[in-house]
Structure 1
Amino acid sequence: MLTYEPGDSLAHGLDPRAKLAVQFGIAIAVFSHPTARGFAVGGAVALAALAAGRLSPVRVLRAYRVVFLFLAVGPVLGGLALGDPWFRVGPALESARAVARVVPVVFVSAVYVRTTPVRETRAAIQRLLPGRIGRLFGVGVGLVFRFFPVVLGDLRTVRAAVRARAGERRPLRDRVSRVLARGLQRSQLRADRLTLALRARCFAWNPTLPALRFRTRDYLVAALGLALACAPLFTLVPGRFIPIG
């Protein structure tokens, strides 16, 4: 699982609001244009994001291998049939096109996580969503970014402990139940400690967040995100409207 790492890449220096705009824009663009041209644009934006963040695509594939394996199963299941023919190419290709839309979004999101501190993400959300709703979303996102990698680390530790105690000899169901039960127990303990730590530090809804400032390159990146988000409007060309009355 990728987490924030300090660096001096182009993506590190961008305002988080501009990077969020690109994320939302590419998601709208690739899902509204499931064509070869849409996939090409999404792939180009994803490669540009990886270059801007100096992040290897191999590292992203390795970090999110479970997600990509889950996506790879989709076309196979989509093509299976209960009768002759047992595998249909048409539905499998349709499912593959649907899966392909998710890939560039995952790559761009990985670059964001890798190059954006949690505090800046919270500051960006609270500026985009003012008031108590923004503070609630900011706190929630910050806790998820900090807590989720720790939970995954606990699950890996529990799995390693089960293997060290010859757990591979046990049935798969028994191993899974042991890992999940112990992992859930450790997650609850961490949640209790987190609650106590927040109270001890006088947790506030309005902490001093880092200052955010748009520069020229941030405006350019935000404009790219806005252009991608407006992609569905390009399909509304004259001649496609049906007159009423």
Structure 2
Amino acid sequence: MLTYEPGETVVHDLDPRSKLAVQIGFAATALAHTAPRALLGLSVVTAVVLALARVPVVRTLYAYRFALVILALGPLVAAATLGPPWIDLEAGLATALASYRVLLILLVSAAYVRTTPVRESRAAIQRTVPGKPGQLLGIGVALVFRFLPVVQSDLRTIRDASAARLGTERSARERATTIGLLGLSRTFDRADRLSLALRARCFSWNPTLPALAFARRDAPTLGVAVALLLTAFL
């Protein structure tokens, strides 16, 4: 599961706004360049980011396993044709390169999630985007980071309970329907409880957020972010 984990890495100590800037620059460059040579360079950048943040690659790929299935199926579907020659290798290769770009972006995002507390992410967004839009966006990001792991845990519990009751003997459609319906029901219950908890705690649109300040160690990170962003236009 992708959540924040306290640590003493270089990336943990960076200002969240610097890390967000790197993510934006990296995503812009990855989406702008499709050549294999550019993707090789971005792969090196991704490897450096994961190493600096000490992100366990195997665990991260496992957490993204459902997204990986979709990314893997994309090239196969794109390469298939309804008539001769039945397989379009050029279309499949183009989609494979696009899927690889998305994978690199997901890995860099995993480094951000692992090294940045939710409150700091909210503070970074609200202090970058002014007014109500920034508050709405900050609240949305904070709630997603806190709510999504709980929903994932509920789905795993439902799946394990179904397997313990010989649910694996049912067809794939029956299992998916049962888990989906129970998961939606549990999610709505969680949402109602979250709403009640927010009201009970006098939910504030403008709470006291942690102080953020750029330091000297953020200068190289911001330089990398600017370089990546400029690379997207070259």
CA shift, 1:226, in A, is 1.5
What amino acid sits opposite 1:78 in the alignment? A
**Distance in 2 (alpha carbons) for counterparts of 1:138 and 1:27:** 20
**Distance in 1 (alpha carbons) for counterparts of 2:46 and 2:217:** 18
**Distance in 2 (alpha carbons) for counterparts of 1:183 and 1:97:** 34
What amino acid sits opposite 2:35 in the alignment? T
Larger of the two Rg values belongs to structure: 1
The residue matched to 1:191 in structure 2 has which SS?
helix
**Distance in 2 (alpha carbons) for counterparts of 1:68 and 1:222:** 30
What amino acid sits opposite 1:32 in the alignment? A
CA deviation vs aligned residue, 1:14-54 (integer Å, no higher than 9, x gap): 11000001101011111111112310221111111101111
Moved over 3 A (4+): none
* Stretch moving more, 67-76 or 119-128: 67-76
Aligned twin of 1:156: 156
In the TM superposition, 1:87-166 aligns within 5 A as 87-166=87-166
Percent of matched pairs sharing the same residue: 50
CA shift, 1:84, in A, is 2.2
CA deviation vs aligned residue, 1:190-232 (integer Å, no higher than 9, x gap): 1111011101111101111111111112121012112111223
Question: Does residue 44 of the first structure (1) align with residue 78 of the second (2)?
Answer: no
What amino acid sits opposite 1:104 in the alignment? L
* Stretch moving more, 31-40 or 192-201: 31-40
What amino acid sits opposite 1:105 in the alignment? I
CA shift, 1:141, in A, is 0.4
Task: Structure 1 unaligned segments of length 5 or more: list them.
Answer: 235-245
**Distance in 1 (alpha carbons) for counterparts of 2:72 and 2:173:** 24
The residue matched to 1:216 in structure 2 has which SS?
coil
In the TM superposition, 1:1-245 aligns within 5 A as 1-234=1-234
For normalisation by structure 1, the TM-score amounts to: 0.92
**Distance in 2 (alpha carbons) for counterparts of 1:124 and 1:37:** 33
* Stretch moving more, 200-209 or 36-45: 36-45
**Distance in 2 (alpha carbons) for counterparts of 1:162 and 1:121:** 36
* Stretch moving more, 138-147 or 83-92: 83-92
CA shift, 1:88, in A, is 1.9
**Distance in 2 (alpha carbons) for counterparts of 1:196 and 1:20:** 32
What amino acid sits opposite 2:37 in the alignment? R
**Distance in 2 (alpha carbons) for counterparts of 1:107 and 1:233:** 23
CA shift, 1:171, in A, is 2.1
What amino acid sits opposite 1:221 in the alignment? T
Q: Cα–Cα, structure 1 residues 62 and 92, in superposed 2: closer, same or farther, change >3 Å?
A: same
CA shift, 1:72, in A, is 0.9
**Distance in 1 (alpha carbons) for counterparts of 2:233 and 2:84:** 42
The residue matched to 1:233 in structure 2 has which SS?
coil
Task: Structure 2 unaligned segments of length 5 or more: list them.
Answer: none
* Stretch moving more, 196-205 or 98-107: 98-107
**Distance in 2 (alpha carbons) for counterparts of 1:44 and 1:116:** 22
CA shift, 1:79, in A, is 0.8
CA shift, 1:189, in A, is 0.8
**Distance in 2 (alpha carbons) for counterparts of 1:66 and 1:216:** 39
